[in-house]
Every structure is written in structure tokens, then in C-alpha cells.
Amino acid sequence: MSFDADVIVVGGGLAGLSAGITANREGVSTLVLERGEYSGAKNVSGGRIYVHALRNLVNIDDAPLEKPIVRETYEISCGSRKLNFSFYDPETRNSYSVLRAKFDPWLAKKAEEEGVLISYETLVYNAERDVNGITLKTNRGDLRAKLVIEADGVTAGISRYLGIRSLSPDSLMLGVKEVVKPDNVPEEGEAKVLVGYLNGLLGGGFMYVNQDSLSIGATVKVNSLQEEKILARDVVEDLRAKLKVEGEVLEYSAHLIPYYGFNKLPPLSAPNVLVTGDAAGLLINDGFVIRGMDLAIGSGMVAGKASKVILNQGDPSKTEVYEKMLAESFVLRDMRTASRAFQLMNNERLFKTYPELLCNVLARMFTVEGERKTLMNVMVEETKSRGLTLTQMIRDLMKVV
Amino acid sequence: MDLIKRLSLNKYRVDKESHIRVNLDICRTCSEKPCIKVCPAGTYERSGDVIEVHYERCLECGAALVACPFSAITFKFPEGGVSFRFG
């Protein structure tokens, strides 16, 4: 049986394009399949990319990024009380707000200029493995490859079709988002993390400043949506009303977010398959940064390099080397570093107990009523009244440290 | 802003056939219908003791793959479907 390409990359988003570009540079015959009319047509992100990995892939001088994020803001709301703080660093160019339907086509064009073949409007609806490779069932007929790089996003279709994966609502978050054009867009790029704005749903809100718009949205654990009385469709509108952001709504979108963490990662490879990006559950949330796109690019690049090594070894079913290379790269190293902090970010206490506890402690410290208590005593009382101990709280805090 | 208005901001190429299938026998046995709450596009609407599927609204977020605890929903991506302008 003949092959349509040595390597077929399923998905033309950030992971897929990075894999396609890298494999092509390695001299491997490569084909990228994208189900959208263009790369980015089906992609949604919260809206911030850390560009270190992108810089290693291509020259980003003309990249259609939105604004450099120079202000990091946290807003914690507990009823009418609010705590917010910002870190401002005007010189940094470490991360940018981004809109994927603008950005991904630019990267796809870069790939095509280097000779990467991208087949658009190509939907893979099944995959079968045989002794020599993988056959992909697509709306354009069967396509065969020795090696498949799976870059089909969080729903991991290829892994599911091959039976190495199933999805579960407690490892997934739903992101819902609006792009809004307010009367005045802030001059400087800002990223806001919003805690306590989601009526008790497990998750958080976000806001990013783009060139001429704002990205406003929320990420919510799917199992929390299943249990609570709040409709996913109302989450962003409700958040926007609370933030009092007015303006023309340009887009309403939604996307699942992988929320596995290093200790619960899905299979990263299988015979004849390398899994990358969201499909591999690569997402980091350590309390300071929420990253997915740079991990997608990083893992795609590693998969592209690994494909050459695997093909040279002569047996495309032996894919372990990819996992070894990924473990040596920043992708899994950073996933590992963040694993304890991630556990806290996945903990109900963080969403439900701590914001309100913090507000109460502060409210008491800023109030004079005749009997002054030390901060320590106030903290002990407030943790106790919530069935927590100070030790538990410190243990949680240490996870981030 | 009303949900349908918000959805109409996106470009859709609606497939001739629904990419979402519901096993009505399973659906009938479920009183909670969490799929209605989880879907950000209002694709699932209560209709008697089952649900009606407005597949043309789908934002292809993938939540339908896990929205039903009883696996009554079979979801594949559509051939056409939504195209985002901003993302």
C-alpha cells in the first residue's frame, strides 16, 4: 500500500503548523490537514501568547499580534467588596494579546512559503492503524501515512478513534468569550484575572486588551456547569455586566480547555502517533501564568524533529523517542514544575473559600471597632469559622511557592 | 445581548445534516438534562421529556462530547460549521 505522505499532521493550528514547519525543514514529506476554511477559523483562545517558543520557530517582526501585555491585574470580588492589585512592567515583550483567526493564517502563510502543504476544509472523521501506518478517513477520501502527528485540539479525535483516549468532564474547562469594542480601548496591553465573578461556578474570568477591542470571558469546569443552575450561554454576558464593560460585541465564541496537569497527562504517543498541543493536554496554570499556545508550538516543534528520527530508525510504530525528547524540552519540564501549583488551581477552595476569606480578613484589618486583634488572630478565626486550619491554608499556599 | 444575536455575529456554513445525534431512549430517562446548561450555544432545548438539537447554532467547542453523563449525545465535527473572525 502506498502512502500519501510520510507524516500527516492532523490540525492546522499552532501545534500542527509548528510540527509541519519543523518536519518539512527536516526534509520529511509532510501534509497538514485543517478542517476549517483557513487556519484559525475553528480556533479560540483566551487571548494571550507567550512568544518565546514562537520566536524559535519563525521571525515574528511582522506577526499580527495585538498588544504586548505590560500590566498583570488580579481582581478578587466578594459581593460588594473587591481587592485588586497590578504589576506593571512597561519594558516587557514576553507575551502579547492575540486573536487566533488573525494570527493562525499568518503562521500558515509562513509555513506555505517554506513549502508546507496544507489541505483546508479537510475533516478527519476516523483513523485506523495497520501494520505499516495509519489510514485517516476524511471527507476527501482516505489518506495514509507512516506517522500521524495529532494536533487536532482538546477533543483529541485521533486518540479517541484509535481507542487510546476518552474524555471526562472533570479534566476539561469550558471557555466562553466575547470580543467587544468599547468606546475607548486602553492604550497599553493588560491581562486581568478575575476571581469571584462567576456566581459560584468553579472557574475564573479573564480580560485581555487587544489593538482595538477587548477579549472578555471565563473558563469554567465542565462538571461544575453540569451541577450548578447557571447556563453556560449566560456566563459572559453576566460577567460583562458585572465589569460594566459596554460597547459593540464583535464576536461570541467558546472552546474547551484541557485541564489535566502533569500528573494526569493523557498518552503523549502511541504506535505511529505523536500527540501535541491541546490534544496532549498541555496547559499550565501556576497562579501567575496560564499557558497553552507556547506549549503547543513547543510540542509541535519537538514532534516535527522526532518524526525525522523515528522515520530514520525504520520502524514508525516505535515512537517512544518523541516522549523522551518532549521530556527534555521546556514543555514537559515546565509542566512538571507547575504540577503542585496546578493542583491548587484545580482546588475548589481556591474558587470558593479563599477569595471570601481574604476579603473578610482585610475588611477586619481595615476596620477599627475598639478591640484590635493581630493579623494572625484574625486569620486563625476566619480560617476556623470555615472549617479550615491555618496549616491547611499554608500548605495550599506552599504549592504555589 | 441576546444569544441568537450573539451567534449571528459568526459566519456559519450549515451542513445539510446534523453532526449531532441524540439517543432519545437514553435522553428520556434523564430528568436533569445537564447538556442544556453546559452548551454555550443553546444547541440543546428541552422538548417534552427529550431534547431538540439546533445543530446550526453549534460553536464546535466540544463540550457536547462530555456534556451528557449518560453518553446519549454523539458528536462529530461538521464539514462546514462555524468560522471565527477573531478567535
Q: Which domains does chain A have, with CATH numbers?
A: 5-64+99-165+266-338 (3.50.50.60), 170-258 (3.30.9.10), 348-399 (no CATH)
Pairing outcome for strands A203-209 and A69-78:
unpaired
* Nearest residue on chain A to B33, alpha-carbon basis: A226
CA torsion sign for A236, A47, A247, A196 is positive
pLDDT band at A370 (very low <50, low <70, confident <90, very high): confident
What confidence tier does A224 reach under pLDDT thresholds 50, 70, 90? very high
b/e per residue A22-42 (b: at least 16 CB within 10 A): bbbbbebbbbbbbbbbbbbbb
Among chain A residues, CA nearest to B13: A37
Q: Examine the pLDDT at A320 and tell me if it is beyond 90.
A: yes
Contact status, residue B78 vs residue B58, Cβ threshold 8 Å: yes
CA distance A178 to chain B (A): 9
- Which residue in the set B6, B65, B84 is minimally distant from A44, CB to CB? B84
Each residue's pLDDT tens digit, A29-87: 999 999 999 999 999 999 999 999 999 999 999 999 999 999 999 999 998 999 999 99
Q: Are strands A290-291 and A284-285 parallel, antiparallel or unpaired?
A: antiparallel
What does the pLDDT average to over B44-62?
97
Cα–Cα dist A136/A313, whole Å: 23
Interface A:B, Cβ pairs < 8 A? 128
CATH match of B3-76 with 3.30.70.20: yes
Quote the pLDDT of residue B8.
97
Distance CA A361, CA A377 (A): 10
User: Which residues, 6 or more positions from A111, have their beta carbon under 8 angstroms from its beta carbon?
Assistant: A17, A20, A21, A24, A32, A118
CB within 8 Å: B61 and A254:
yes
**What are the pLDDT digits (tens) for A292-307?**
999 999 999 999 999 9
pLDDT at B57: 97
If you ran DSSP here, which 8-state letter would residue A198 be given?
Answer: S
Please indicate, yes or no, whether the overall pTM of this predicted structure exceeds 0.95: yes
Between chains, do B6 and A232 touch, taking CB under 8 Å as contact?
no
Contact (CB<8Å) B62/A155:
yes
Average pLDDT over residues A246-265: 97
Percent of chain A residues topping a pLDDT of 70: 100
Mean pLDDT computed over A272-279: 98
- Of chain A residues 336-365, which have a CB less than 8 A from chain B? none
* A170-174 mean pLDDT: 95
User: Looking at the partner chain, which of A101, A169, A172 has a beta carbon nearest the beta carbon of B86?
Assistant: A101
Whether A1 has a pLDDT exceeding 80, the answer reads no
Identify all chain A residues contacting B7, using CB atoms and an 8 Å cutoff.
252
